[in-house]
Amino acid sequence: MSSFNGQNFQDRQAAAASARKEQLAKFLARPAPDDPAVLERQAKRQAVLEARTIRTAEREARRAAAEAEAAARRAAEELARQEALKAEEAARETARQEELALKAALEVERKAERDARYAARKARKVARKAEIKRYR
């Protein structure tokens, strides 16, 4: 066996016991909860935690303000778009009304011309009948 190191059972037991003693000594050597160094580290951690909480709250407040501003801007843009659509629709309706009025005026004018032609034709017919009657 190439990995044989020659340790026997008592050596392994002694090593395990010394490791347990060292671990127990390390555990017992740690500072008590009311030790000033422990309290100082705890105060530092608490200060860091409070600062982080404040930064998070500030970040959330900025984000909420930005979202509110964006929502207000979107609402204003939507209102402006609606107003533009209403104005465009009103302009289209006005143009349509003007076109209808123009068509109606043209129709009245055509009717007047047609009536004038009819009246002239009738007058010529009456004049011819009168002319014919005079020569009979």
DSSP string, the chain: -TT-----HHHHHHHHHHHHHHHHHHHHTSPPTT-HHHHHHHHHHHHHHHHHHHHHHHHHHHHHHHHHHHHHHHHHHHHHHHHHHHHHHHHHHHHHHHHHHHHHHHHHHHHHHHHHHHHHHHHHHHHHHHHHHHT-
pLDDT confidence of residue 48:
97
pLDDT confidence of residue 56:
98
pLDDT confidence of residue 5:
60
pLDDT confidence of residue 1:
45
pLDDT confidence of residue 41:
92
Spans of the chain, pLDDT less than 50: 1
pLDDT confidence of residue 47:
97
pLDDT confidence of residue 36:
86
Residue type, 62: R
pLDDT confidence of residue 30:
81
pLDDT confidence of residue 104:
95
Q: Which DSSP category does 33 fall into?
A: T
Report if pTM > 0.85.
no
pLDDT confidence of residue 105:
95
pLDDT confidence of residue 4:
57
pLDDT confidence of residue 2:
52
pLDDT confidence of residue 20:
95
Taking the C-alpha atoms of residue 128 and residue 136, their distance in angstroms, rounded to an integer, is 12
